[in-house]
Structure 1
Amino acid sequence: MASDFAAKYGPWALITGASDGTGLAFARRLAGEGINLILVARSADKLAAASAEIAGLGVECLTASVDLSAPEAAARIAEAARNREVGLLITNAGADPNGSRFLDGDIAAWDGLVTMNVNTTMRLAHHFGQGMKARKRGGMILVSSGACYGGLHGIAAYCASKGFVLNFAEGLWAELRHVGVDVLTLVLGRTDTPAHRKILEESGQAIPDDMASAEEVAEIGLRQLPHGPIWNWGQENDVAGMAPNSPDDRRAKIEYIERMMPSYEVEH
Protein backbone atom coordinates (compact mmCIF):
# COMPACT_ATOMS: atom_id res chain seq x y z
CA MET A 1 0.00 0.00 0.00
CA ALA A 2 1.33 3.43 -0.94
CA SER A 3 2.34 5.75 1.87
CA ASP A 4 0.56 9.06 2.41
CA PHE A 5 3.68 10.72 1.02
CA ALA A 6 3.48 8.63 -2.15
CA ALA A 7 -0.22 9.37 -2.51
CA LYS A 8 0.59 13.10 -2.46
CA TYR A 9 3.82 13.14 -4.47
CA GLY A 10 3.88 9.89 -6.47
CA PRO A 11 3.82 7.67 -8.32
CA TRP A 12 7.00 8.99 -9.98
CA ALA A 13 9.63 11.51 -8.85
CA LEU A 14 12.23 13.07 -11.14
CA ILE A 15 15.56 14.21 -9.69
CA THR A 16 18.31 16.09 -11.51
CA GLY A 17 21.87 15.78 -10.28
CA ALA A 18 20.84 12.36 -9.01
CA SER A 19 23.95 10.22 -9.52
CA ASP A 20 25.53 10.98 -6.13
CA GLY A 21 25.47 13.41 -3.19
CA THR A 22 22.19 15.00 -2.19
CA GLY A 23 20.44 13.83 -5.35
CA LEU A 24 21.12 10.17 -4.57
CA ALA A 25 20.18 10.76 -0.92
CA PHE A 26 16.80 12.13 -2.07
CA ALA A 27 16.37 9.06 -4.29
CA ARG A 28 17.04 6.64 -1.44
CA ARG A 29 14.47 8.30 0.81
CA LEU A 30 11.83 8.47 -1.90
CA ALA A 31 12.37 4.80 -2.75
CA GLY A 32 11.71 4.08 0.91
CA GLU A 33 8.32 5.75 0.45
CA GLY A 34 7.54 3.50 -2.51
CA ILE A 35 7.92 6.21 -5.17
CA ASN A 36 9.35 5.23 -8.56
CA LEU A 37 12.27 7.31 -9.76
CA ILE A 38 13.65 8.99 -12.85
CA LEU A 39 17.28 9.87 -12.17
CA VAL A 40 18.96 12.51 -14.34
CA ALA A 41 22.65 13.40 -14.44
CA ARG A 42 25.47 13.76 -16.96
CA SER A 43 27.54 10.69 -16.06
CA ALA A 44 26.04 7.50 -17.49
CA ASP A 45 28.36 5.32 -15.40
CA LYS A 46 27.39 6.95 -12.12
CA LEU A 47 23.72 6.81 -13.08
CA ALA A 48 23.99 3.08 -13.76
CA ALA A 49 25.44 2.48 -10.30
CA ALA A 50 22.78 4.67 -8.65
CA SER A 51 20.01 2.94 -10.59
CA ALA A 52 21.21 -0.51 -9.53
CA GLU A 53 21.15 0.58 -5.90
CA ILE A 54 17.69 2.15 -6.12
CA ALA A 55 16.19 -0.76 -8.05
CA GLY A 56 17.31 -3.00 -5.19
CA LEU A 57 15.01 -1.04 -2.89
CA GLY A 58 11.92 -2.37 -4.63
CA VAL A 59 10.84 0.49 -6.91
CA GLU A 60 11.14 1.15 -10.63
CA CYS A 61 14.10 3.30 -11.60
CA LEU A 62 14.81 4.90 -14.94
CA THR A 63 17.83 7.01 -15.88
CA ALA A 64 18.54 9.76 -18.38
CA SER A 65 22.10 10.86 -19.11
CA VAL A 66 21.65 14.54 -19.95
CA ASP A 67 23.95 17.57 -19.84
CA LEU A 68 21.76 20.03 -17.94
CA SER A 69 23.74 22.98 -19.29
CA ALA A 70 22.72 22.20 -22.88
CA PRO A 71 19.86 24.23 -24.42
CA GLU A 72 17.88 21.08 -25.24
CA ALA A 73 18.28 19.51 -21.77
CA ALA A 74 14.71 20.04 -20.54
CA ALA A 75 13.23 18.69 -23.77
CA ARG A 76 15.39 15.55 -23.54
CA ILE A 77 14.35 15.00 -19.92
CA ALA A 78 10.67 15.41 -20.76
CA GLU A 79 11.10 12.89 -23.58
CA ALA A 80 12.75 10.41 -21.21
CA ALA A 81 9.87 10.73 -18.73
CA ARG A 82 7.35 10.20 -21.55
CA ASN A 83 3.80 10.00 -20.19
CA ARG A 84 4.75 8.90 -16.68
CA GLU A 85 2.93 10.72 -13.90
CA VAL A 86 5.64 12.75 -12.20
CA GLY A 87 4.26 14.02 -8.91
CA LEU A 88 7.55 15.33 -7.51
CA LEU A 89 10.28 17.32 -9.24
CA ILE A 90 13.61 17.92 -7.49
CA THR A 91 16.08 20.17 -9.32
CA ASN A 92 19.23 19.36 -7.42
CA ALA A 93 22.05 19.96 -9.92
CA GLY A 94 23.70 23.34 -10.23
CA ALA A 95 27.16 23.64 -8.64
CA ASP A 96 29.63 26.09 -10.21
CA PRO A 97 32.46 23.98 -11.66
CA ASN A 98 34.32 26.92 -13.22
CA GLY A 99 36.43 28.16 -10.32
CA SER A 100 37.24 31.55 -11.84
CA ARG A 101 36.24 35.18 -11.81
CA PHE A 102 33.64 36.20 -14.38
CA LEU A 103 36.01 38.00 -16.75
CA ASP A 104 38.67 35.29 -16.43
CA GLY A 105 36.37 32.56 -17.74
CA ASP A 106 35.09 31.83 -21.21
CA ILE A 107 31.59 33.24 -21.73
CA ALA A 108 30.43 29.82 -22.94
CA ALA A 109 31.03 28.44 -19.45
CA TRP A 110 28.79 31.09 -17.92
CA ASP A 111 26.15 30.52 -20.60
CA GLY A 112 26.12 26.85 -19.61
CA LEU A 113 25.86 27.62 -15.89
CA VAL A 114 22.95 30.01 -16.42
CA THR A 115 21.22 27.56 -18.78
CA MET A 116 21.45 24.82 -16.15
CA ASN A 117 20.28 26.86 -13.17
CA VAL A 118 17.78 29.13 -14.90
CA ASN A 119 16.44 27.88 -18.23
CA THR A 120 16.50 24.14 -17.55
CA THR A 121 14.99 24.61 -14.09
CA MET A 122 12.26 26.88 -15.43
CA ARG A 123 11.39 24.61 -18.34
CA LEU A 124 11.22 21.49 -16.15
CA ALA A 125 8.96 23.28 -13.66
CA HIS A 126 6.70 24.39 -16.50
CA HIS A 127 6.50 20.96 -18.14
CA PHE A 128 5.92 18.84 -15.04
CA GLY A 129 4.06 21.55 -13.12
CA GLN A 130 1.26 21.55 -15.69
CA GLY A 131 0.41 17.93 -14.84
CA MET A 132 0.59 18.61 -11.11
CA LYS A 133 -1.75 21.58 -11.42
CA ALA A 134 -4.24 19.58 -13.47
CA ARG A 135 -4.20 16.75 -10.88
CA LYS A 136 -4.28 19.25 -7.99
CA ARG A 137 -1.45 17.54 -6.15
CA GLY A 138 2.31 17.24 -6.31
CA GLY A 139 5.43 19.10 -5.30
CA MET A 140 8.68 20.71 -6.39
CA ILE A 141 11.92 21.14 -4.46
CA LEU A 142 14.26 23.62 -6.15
CA VAL A 143 17.58 23.21 -4.38
CA SER A 144 19.50 26.45 -4.02
CA SER A 145 22.46 27.93 -2.16
CA GLY A 146 23.07 30.71 0.34
CA ALA A 147 24.73 32.47 -2.61
CA CYS A 148 21.20 33.34 -3.75
CA TYR A 149 21.07 36.24 -1.29
CA GLY A 150 23.70 38.44 -2.93
CA GLY A 151 26.60 38.74 -5.33
CA LEU A 152 29.89 37.34 -4.04
CA HIS A 153 33.53 37.47 -5.08
CA GLY A 154 34.50 34.89 -7.68
CA ILE A 155 31.02 33.43 -8.23
CA ALA A 156 29.05 36.30 -9.76
CA ALA A 157 27.13 34.27 -12.37
CA TYR A 158 26.47 31.48 -9.89
CA CYS A 159 25.01 33.92 -7.35
CA ALA A 160 22.82 35.50 -10.01
CA SER A 161 21.48 32.16 -11.20
CA LYS A 162 20.69 31.04 -7.66
CA GLY A 163 18.95 34.37 -7.04
CA PHE A 164 16.67 33.44 -9.91
CA VAL A 165 15.89 30.08 -8.29
CA LEU A 166 14.95 31.80 -5.01
CA ASN A 167 12.54 34.26 -6.58
CA PHE A 168 11.16 31.79 -9.11
CA ALA A 169 10.37 29.23 -6.39
CA GLU A 170 8.64 31.82 -4.23
CA GLY A 171 6.56 32.96 -7.18
CA LEU A 172 5.58 29.37 -8.01
CA TRP A 173 4.64 28.75 -4.40
CA ALA A 174 2.36 31.79 -4.50
CA GLU A 175 0.69 30.52 -7.69
CA LEU A 176 0.37 26.83 -6.88
CA ARG A 177 -0.38 26.73 -3.16
CA HIS A 178 -4.06 27.29 -3.94
CA VAL A 179 -4.29 24.20 -6.16
CA GLY A 180 -2.65 21.60 -3.90
CA VAL A 181 0.90 21.75 -5.29
CA ASP A 182 3.74 22.37 -2.82
CA VAL A 183 6.87 24.32 -3.77
CA LEU A 184 10.01 24.68 -1.66
CA THR A 185 13.35 26.30 -2.34
CA LEU A 186 15.86 24.50 -0.14
CA VAL A 187 18.71 26.96 0.51
CA LEU A 188 21.82 25.01 1.47
CA GLY A 189 25.02 25.95 3.17
CA ARG A 190 28.17 23.86 2.86
CA THR A 191 27.14 20.27 2.21
CA ASP A 192 29.36 17.20 2.06
CA THR A 193 28.99 16.02 -1.52
CA PRO A 194 31.53 14.68 -4.03
CA ALA A 195 31.12 17.82 -6.17
CA HIS A 196 31.76 20.15 -3.23
CA ARG A 197 34.76 18.15 -2.08
CA LYS A 198 36.23 18.26 -5.58
CA ILE A 199 35.90 22.06 -5.74
CA LEU A 200 37.55 22.46 -2.33
CA GLU A 201 40.39 20.10 -3.15
CA GLU A 202 41.10 21.69 -6.54
CA SER A 203 41.23 25.15 -4.94
CA GLY A 204 43.55 23.97 -2.17
CA GLN A 205 41.05 24.53 0.63
CA ALA A 206 40.71 22.24 3.63
CA ILE A 207 37.64 20.05 3.96
CA PRO A 208 35.50 21.61 6.74
CA ASP A 209 34.37 19.34 9.56
CA ASP A 210 31.02 21.06 9.97
CA MET A 211 29.44 20.38 6.59
CA ALA A 212 25.89 19.07 6.46
CA SER A 213 25.49 15.50 5.26
CA ALA A 214 23.59 14.70 2.08
CA GLU A 215 21.29 12.41 4.05
CA GLU A 216 20.35 15.22 6.45
CA VAL A 217 19.60 17.53 3.53
CA ALA A 218 17.29 14.99 1.89
CA GLU A 219 15.48 14.20 5.12
CA ILE A 220 14.82 17.81 6.05
CA GLY A 221 14.04 18.90 2.48
CA LEU A 222 11.30 16.30 2.10
CA ARG A 223 9.95 17.07 5.57
CA GLN A 224 9.78 20.80 4.84
CA LEU A 225 8.25 20.45 1.37
CA PRO A 226 4.65 21.10 2.56
CA HIS A 227 5.84 24.19 4.46
CA GLY A 228 7.24 26.36 1.63
CA PRO A 229 8.23 28.58 0.09
CA ILE A 230 11.69 28.39 1.68
CA TRP A 231 13.89 26.60 4.14
CA ASN A 232 17.32 28.02 4.99
CA TRP A 233 19.74 25.38 6.14
CA GLY A 234 20.84 26.03 9.71
CA GLN A 235 19.06 29.36 9.92
CA GLU A 236 15.77 28.23 11.50
CA ASN A 237 14.03 30.05 8.66
CA ASP A 238 15.35 33.45 9.77
CA VAL A 239 16.02 35.13 6.44
CA ALA A 240 16.85 38.58 7.84
CA GLY A 241 20.49 37.79 8.52
CA MET A 242 20.90 36.11 5.15
CA ALA A 243 19.68 39.00 3.02
CA PRO A 244 20.84 42.38 4.35
CA ASN A 245 19.16 45.26 2.57
CA SER A 246 21.10 48.44 3.28
CA PRO A 247 24.10 49.32 1.06
CA ASP A 248 26.48 49.23 4.05
CA ASP A 249 25.21 45.85 5.26
CA ARG A 250 25.37 44.30 1.80
CA ARG A 251 28.88 45.66 1.23
CA ALA A 252 30.04 44.29 4.57
CA LYS A 253 28.65 40.85 3.78
CA ILE A 254 30.33 40.73 0.37
CA GLU A 255 33.68 41.77 1.84
CA TYR A 256 33.37 39.24 4.67
CA ILE A 257 32.71 36.36 2.26
CA GLU A 258 35.60 37.53 0.08
CA ARG A 259 37.98 37.24 3.04
CA MET A 260 36.71 33.71 3.64
CA MET A 261 37.54 32.56 0.08
CA PRO A 262 41.37 32.32 -0.03
CA SER A 263 41.37 30.43 -3.31
CA TYR A 264 40.76 33.67 -5.20
CA GLU A 265 43.31 36.47 -5.35
CA VAL A 266 41.84 39.91 -4.94
CA GLU A 267 42.82 42.40 -7.61
CA HIS A 268 43.56 45.95 -6.41
Structure 2
Amino acid sequence: MTFAERYGPWAVIAGASEGTGREFARQIAKEGVSSVLIARRSEPLAALAAEIEAEYRLRCVTACVDLAAPDAAERVFEAVGDREVGLYISNAGGDPNGEAFLDAEVGAWIDLVQRNVMTVLKCTHGFAGPMKARGRGGIMLVNSGACYGGLAMMGPYCGSKAFNLCLAEALWAELKPSGVDVLTLVMSKTDTPEFRRYMAAKGQSIPEDSASAYDVARVGLERLPYGPIKNWGEEDDQTGMTNQSAAQRRERVVAVQRMTREMMGQD
Protein backbone atom coordinates (compact mmCIF):
# COMPACT_ATOMS: atom_id res chain seq x y z
CA MET A 1 0.00 0.00 0.00
CA THR A 2 1.01 3.60 -0.48
CA PHE A 3 1.40 5.85 2.54
CA ALA A 4 -2.03 7.37 1.92
CA GLU A 5 -3.65 3.96 1.55
CA ARG A 6 -2.05 2.75 4.75
CA TYR A 7 -2.46 5.84 6.94
CA GLY A 8 -5.08 8.02 5.28
CA PRO A 9 -7.33 9.73 4.60
CA TRP A 10 -6.84 11.80 7.76
CA ALA A 11 -4.08 12.12 10.34
CA VAL A 12 -4.38 13.71 13.77
CA ILE A 13 -1.29 15.55 15.02
CA ALA A 14 -1.35 16.64 18.65
CA GLY A 15 1.20 19.39 19.11
CA ALA A 16 1.29 20.57 15.51
CA SER A 17 1.97 24.29 15.74
CA GLU A 18 5.76 24.26 15.40
CA GLY A 19 8.91 22.13 15.40
CA THR A 20 8.51 18.43 14.73
CA GLY A 21 4.72 18.67 14.74
CA ARG A 22 4.79 21.18 11.91
CA GLU A 23 7.19 18.97 9.96
CA PHE A 24 5.00 15.91 10.48
CA ALA A 25 2.04 17.81 9.03
CA ARG A 26 3.98 19.00 5.99
CA GLN A 27 5.54 15.63 5.21
CA ILE A 28 2.25 13.81 5.69
CA ALA A 29 0.59 16.29 3.33
CA LYS A 30 3.29 15.58 0.76
CA GLU A 31 2.09 11.97 0.85
CA GLY A 32 -1.48 13.06 0.13
CA VAL A 33 -2.95 12.81 3.64
CA SER A 34 -4.85 15.66 5.28
CA SER A 35 -4.42 16.44 8.97
CA VAL A 36 -6.39 17.60 11.96
CA LEU A 37 -3.90 19.97 13.58
CA ILE A 38 -4.10 20.28 17.37
CA ALA A 39 -2.31 22.81 19.58
CA ARG A 40 -3.04 25.62 22.04
CA ARG A 41 -2.27 28.58 19.77
CA SER A 42 -4.58 29.38 16.87
CA GLU A 43 -2.31 31.65 14.80
CA PRO A 44 0.47 29.16 13.93
CA LEU A 45 -2.10 26.42 13.30
CA ALA A 46 -4.01 28.62 10.86
CA ALA A 47 -0.79 29.63 9.10
CA LEU A 48 0.31 26.01 8.74
CA ALA A 49 -3.09 24.92 7.43
CA ALA A 50 -3.04 27.72 4.84
CA GLU A 51 0.51 26.82 3.83
CA ILE A 52 -0.39 23.15 3.31
CA GLU A 53 -3.53 24.03 1.36
CA ALA A 54 -1.59 26.36 -0.93
CA GLU A 55 1.30 23.97 -1.53
CA TYR A 56 -0.42 20.58 -1.57
CA ARG A 57 -4.06 21.43 -2.29
CA LEU A 58 -5.14 19.57 0.84
CA ARG A 59 -7.53 20.83 3.48
CA CYS A 60 -6.43 20.78 7.11
CA VAL A 61 -8.69 21.20 10.11
CA THR A 62 -7.36 23.12 13.12
CA ALA A 63 -8.46 23.00 16.74
CA CYS A 64 -7.10 24.93 19.71
CA VAL A 65 -6.92 22.48 22.59
CA ASP A 66 -4.96 22.62 25.82
CA LEU A 67 -3.77 19.02 25.96
CA ALA A 68 -3.22 19.32 29.72
CA ALA A 69 -6.92 19.94 30.31
CA PRO A 70 -8.96 17.04 31.74
CA ASP A 71 -11.34 17.17 28.76
CA ALA A 72 -8.60 17.50 26.11
CA ALA A 73 -9.20 14.12 24.48
CA GLU A 74 -12.92 14.76 24.22
CA ARG A 75 -12.22 18.09 22.51
CA VAL A 76 -9.83 16.36 20.08
CA PHE A 77 -12.51 13.80 19.20
CA GLU A 78 -15.02 16.63 18.75
CA ALA A 79 -12.66 18.37 16.31
CA VAL A 80 -12.16 15.15 14.35
CA GLY A 81 -15.87 14.45 14.08
CA ASP A 82 -16.74 11.59 11.74
CA ARG A 83 -13.52 11.81 9.72
CA GLU A 84 -11.70 8.53 9.16
CA VAL A 85 -8.38 8.76 11.01
CA GLY A 86 -5.65 6.46 9.78
CA LEU A 87 -2.76 8.01 11.69
CA TYR A 88 -2.49 9.48 15.20
CA ILE A 89 0.71 11.27 16.21
CA SER A 90 1.15 12.36 19.80
CA ASN A 91 3.83 15.02 19.43
CA ALA A 92 3.11 17.29 22.41
CA GLY A 93 4.63 16.54 25.77
CA GLY A 94 7.73 18.49 26.67
CA ASP A 95 8.71 19.52 30.18
CA PRO A 96 7.97 23.24 30.61
CA ASN A 97 9.02 23.19 34.26
CA GLY A 98 12.69 22.19 34.33
CA GLU A 99 12.72 22.23 38.11
CA ALA A 100 13.36 19.89 41.01
CA PHE A 101 10.27 17.98 42.04
CA LEU A 102 9.66 19.93 45.25
CA ASP A 103 10.51 23.31 43.75
CA ALA A 104 7.39 23.36 41.58
CA GLU A 105 3.77 23.36 42.70
CA VAL A 106 2.21 19.93 42.48
CA GLY A 107 -0.33 21.31 39.99
CA ALA A 108 2.43 21.81 37.43
CA TRP A 109 3.31 18.13 37.63
CA ILE A 110 -0.34 17.11 37.46
CA ASP A 111 -0.71 19.13 34.24
CA LEU A 112 2.38 17.44 32.80
CA VAL A 113 1.07 13.96 33.60
CA GLN A 114 -2.38 14.86 32.29
CA ARG A 115 -0.90 15.99 28.97
CA ASN A 116 1.74 13.28 28.58
CA VAL A 117 -0.18 10.31 29.98
CA MET A 118 -3.94 10.67 30.33
CA THR A 119 -4.62 12.61 27.12
CA VAL A 120 -2.31 10.30 25.17
CA LEU A 121 -4.01 7.23 26.65
CA LYS A 122 -7.51 8.45 25.84
CA CYS A 123 -6.67 9.55 22.30
CA THR A 124 -4.76 6.37 21.53
CA HIS A 125 -7.66 4.24 22.76
CA GLY A 126 -10.19 6.25 20.78
CA PHE A 127 -8.30 6.16 17.48
CA ALA A 128 -6.85 2.64 17.70
CA GLY A 129 -10.22 0.90 17.89
CA PRO A 130 -11.47 1.93 14.43
CA MET A 131 -7.99 1.32 12.99
CA LYS A 132 -8.04 -2.25 14.25
CA ALA A 133 -11.53 -2.78 12.83
CA ARG A 134 -10.38 -1.51 9.40
CA GLY A 135 -7.20 -3.58 9.50
CA ARG A 136 -4.82 -0.67 8.89
CA GLY A 137 -3.48 2.50 10.47
CA GLY A 138 -0.63 3.90 12.51
CA ILE A 139 0.06 5.33 15.96
CA MET A 140 3.22 7.27 16.78
CA LEU A 141 4.07 8.39 20.30
CA VAL A 142 6.90 10.91 20.04
CA ASN A 143 9.19 10.33 22.98
CA SER A 144 12.43 11.38 24.68
CA GLY A 145 15.54 9.59 25.84
CA ALA A 146 14.27 10.44 29.32
CA CYS A 147 11.99 7.41 28.95
CA TYR A 148 14.89 5.09 29.79
CA GLY A 149 15.44 6.18 33.39
CA GLY A 150 14.84 8.75 36.08
CA LEU A 151 16.85 11.97 35.99
CA ALA A 152 17.20 14.69 38.59
CA MET A 153 15.13 17.79 37.77
CA MET A 154 13.01 15.69 35.40
CA GLY A 155 11.28 13.11 37.59
CA PRO A 156 7.61 13.36 36.49
CA TYR A 157 8.69 13.97 32.90
CA CYS A 158 10.82 10.80 32.87
CA GLY A 159 7.96 8.83 34.39
CA SER A 160 5.48 10.06 31.78
CA LYS A 161 7.84 9.21 28.94
CA ALA A 162 8.50 5.75 30.37
CA PHE A 163 4.73 5.23 30.30
CA ASN A 164 4.67 6.09 26.59
CA LEU A 165 7.54 3.69 25.93
CA CYS A 166 5.84 0.77 27.64
CA LEU A 167 2.46 1.60 26.12
CA ALA A 168 3.90 1.68 22.61
CA GLU A 169 5.68 -1.66 23.04
CA ALA A 170 2.53 -3.31 24.36
CA LEU A 171 0.27 -1.86 21.66
CA TRP A 172 2.76 -2.83 18.95
CA ALA A 173 2.48 -6.46 20.11
CA GLU A 174 -1.31 -6.31 20.40
CA LEU A 175 -2.16 -4.42 17.21
CA LYS A 176 0.48 -5.61 14.74
CA PRO A 177 -1.53 -8.77 13.87
CA SER A 178 -4.46 -6.48 12.97
CA GLY A 179 -2.40 -4.37 10.56
CA VAL A 180 -1.96 -1.33 12.82
CA ASP A 181 1.60 0.00 13.13
CA VAL A 182 2.80 1.43 16.46
CA LEU A 183 6.05 3.30 17.05
CA THR A 184 7.55 5.37 19.82
CA LEU A 185 10.08 7.73 18.30
CA VAL A 186 12.70 8.38 20.98
CA MET A 187 14.22 11.76 20.26
CA SER A 188 17.49 13.23 21.44
CA LYS A 189 18.46 16.92 21.22
CA THR A 190 16.33 18.47 18.47
CA ASP A 191 16.44 22.03 17.21
CA THR A 192 12.86 23.17 17.79
CA PRO A 193 11.47 26.52 18.91
CA GLU A 194 10.48 24.97 22.24
CA PHE A 195 14.00 23.65 22.82
CA ARG A 196 15.45 27.02 21.88
CA ARG A 197 13.19 28.78 24.40
CA TYR A 198 14.14 26.29 27.09
CA MET A 199 17.87 26.67 26.47
CA ALA A 200 17.59 30.47 26.30
CA ALA A 201 15.84 30.49 29.68
CA LYS A 202 18.82 28.57 31.06
CA GLY A 203 21.26 30.98 29.43
CA GLN A 204 22.57 28.33 27.04
CA SER A 205 22.78 27.95 23.26
CA ILE A 206 21.54 25.11 21.10
CA PRO A 207 24.11 22.28 20.86
CA GLU A 208 25.69 22.04 17.42
CA ASP A 209 24.86 18.34 17.14
CA SER A 210 21.12 18.88 17.57
CA ALA A 211 18.92 17.10 15.05
CA SER A 212 16.68 19.05 12.70
CA ALA A 213 12.92 18.83 13.11
CA TYR A 214 12.65 17.94 9.42
CA ASP A 215 14.94 14.92 9.76
CA VAL A 216 13.27 13.71 12.94
CA ALA A 217 9.83 13.75 11.31
CA ARG A 218 11.15 12.10 8.15
CA VAL A 219 12.84 9.26 10.01
CA GLY A 220 9.84 8.77 12.29
CA LEU A 221 7.47 8.33 9.35
CA GLU A 222 9.93 6.02 7.59
CA ARG A 223 10.29 3.80 10.66
CA LEU A 224 6.60 3.70 11.61
CA PRO A 225 6.00 0.31 9.94
CA TYR A 226 8.92 -1.25 11.84
CA GLY A 227 8.06 -0.44 15.49
CA PRO A 228 7.88 -0.47 18.34
CA ILE A 229 10.94 1.76 18.92
CA LYS A 230 13.19 4.04 16.93
CA ASN A 231 16.05 5.60 18.88
CA TRP A 232 17.15 8.77 17.12
CA GLY A 233 20.68 8.58 15.73
CA GLU A 234 21.00 4.83 16.26
CA GLU A 235 20.65 1.87 13.92
CA ASP A 236 18.08 -0.74 14.84
CA ASP A 237 20.71 -3.06 16.35
CA GLN A 238 22.82 -0.32 17.95
CA THR A 239 22.96 0.58 21.65
CA GLY A 240 23.52 4.10 22.88
CA MET A 241 20.65 5.69 24.78
CA THR A 242 20.37 2.47 26.75
CA ASN A 243 22.16 -0.86 26.99
CA GLN A 244 19.50 -2.51 24.83
CA SER A 245 19.07 -1.77 21.15
CA ALA A 246 15.64 -1.24 19.60
CA ALA A 247 15.96 -4.69 18.03
CA GLN A 248 16.70 -6.31 21.39
CA ARG A 249 13.71 -4.62 23.02
CA ARG A 250 11.53 -5.78 20.12
CA GLU A 251 12.74 -9.34 20.62
CA ARG A 252 11.99 -9.08 24.33
CA VAL A 253 8.42 -7.91 23.67
CA VAL A 254 7.86 -10.80 21.26
CA ALA A 255 9.34 -13.33 23.69
CA VAL A 256 7.25 -12.14 26.63
CA GLN A 257 4.11 -12.07 24.49
CA ARG A 258 4.78 -15.66 23.35
CA MET A 259 5.37 -16.81 26.92
CA THR A 260 2.21 -15.08 28.12
CA ARG A 261 0.11 -16.65 25.39
CA GLU A 262 1.48 -20.07 26.22
CA MET A 263 0.68 -19.61 29.91
CA MET A 264 -2.88 -18.60 29.00
CA GLY A 265 -3.27 -21.51 26.60
CA GLN A 266 -3.73 -19.31 23.57
CA ASP A 267 -1.17 -21.05 21.34
TM-score, length basis structure 1: 0.88
Deviation at 1:64, TM superposition (A): 0.7
Which residue in 1 is equivalent to 2:11? 13
- State whether residues 49 and 59 of structure 2, in contact with CA within 8 Å, keep that contact through their aligned partners in structure 1: no
Once the two structures are superposed, residues 40-71 of structure 1 have per-residue CA deviations (whole angstroms, 9 ceiling, x without a partner) of: 00111111111111121211100010000111
Matched, 1:147 2:146: yes
Which residue in 2 is equivalent to 1:88? 87
- Give the number of equivalent residue pairs: 243
Deviation at 1:174, TM superposition (A): 0.5
What is the rounded CA distance, in whole Å, between the counterparts of 1:244 and 1:208 in structure 2? Answer: 24
Equivalent position amino acid for 1:13 in 2:
A
Deviation at 1:154, TM superposition (A): 0.6
**Unaligned ranges ≥5, structure 2:** 245-267
- State whether residues 232 and 238 of structure 1, in contact with CA within 8 Å, keep that contact through their aligned partners in structure 2: no
Deviation at 1:241, TM superposition (A): 4.0
Once the two structures are superposed, residues 162-215 of structure 1 have per-residue CA deviations (whole angstroms, 9 ceiling, x without a partner) of: 000000000000000000000000000000100011000001112111110011
Once the two structures are superposed, residues 74-103 of structure 1 have per-residue CA deviations (whole angstroms, 9 ceiling, x without a partner) of: 010001101100000000000101121110
Which residue in 1 is equivalent to 2:156? 157
**Unaligned ranges ≥5, structure 1:** 246-268
What is the rounded CA distance, in whole Å, between the counterparts of 2:221 and 2:210 in structure 1? Answer: 19
1:239–1:106 CA distance, 2 compared to 1 (3 A): farther
Which residue in 1 is equivalent to 2:168? 169
What is the rounded CA distance, in whole Å, between the counterparts of 1:52 and 1:225 in structure 2? Answer: 27
Which residue in 1 is equivalent to 2:26? 28
Aligned residue among 42, 47, 50 for 1:49: 47
Equivalent position amino acid for 2:199 in 1:
L
What is the rounded CA distance, in whole Å, between the counterparts of 1:47 and 1:5 in structure 2? Answer: 23
SS of 1:110's equivalent in the other structure is helix
Equivalent position amino acid for 1:78 in 2:
F
Aligned-residue CA RMSD (Å): 1.3
- State whether residues 196 and 205 of structure 2, in contact with CA within 8 Å, keep that contact through their aligned partners in structure 1: no
SS of 1:96's equivalent in the other structure is coil
- State whether residues 232 and 239 of structure 1, in contact with CA within 8 Å, keep that contact through their aligned partners in structure 2: no
SS of 1:142's equivalent in the other structure is strand
Matches within 5 A, 1:39-188: 39-56=37-54, 57-188=56-187
Deviation at 1:26, TM superposition (A): 0.5
4+ residue segments displaced more than 2 Å: 237-245
1:240–1:35 CA distance, 2 compared to 1 (3 A): same
Instruction: Give me the identity figure in percent.
Output: 55
- State whether residues 150 and 243 of structure 1, in contact with CA within 8 Å, keep that contact through their aligned partners in structure 2: no
What is the rounded CA distance, in whole Å, between the counterparts of 1:203 and 1:102 in structure 2? Answer: 17
SS of 1:169's equivalent in the other structure is helix
Which residue in 2 is equivalent to 1:204? 203
Equivalent position amino acid for 2:220 in 1:
G
What is the rounded CA distance, in whole Å, between the counterparts of 2:190 and 2:238 in structure 1? Answer: 19
- State whether residues 139 and 183 of structure 2, in contact with CA within 8 Å, keep that contact through their aligned partners in structure 1: yes
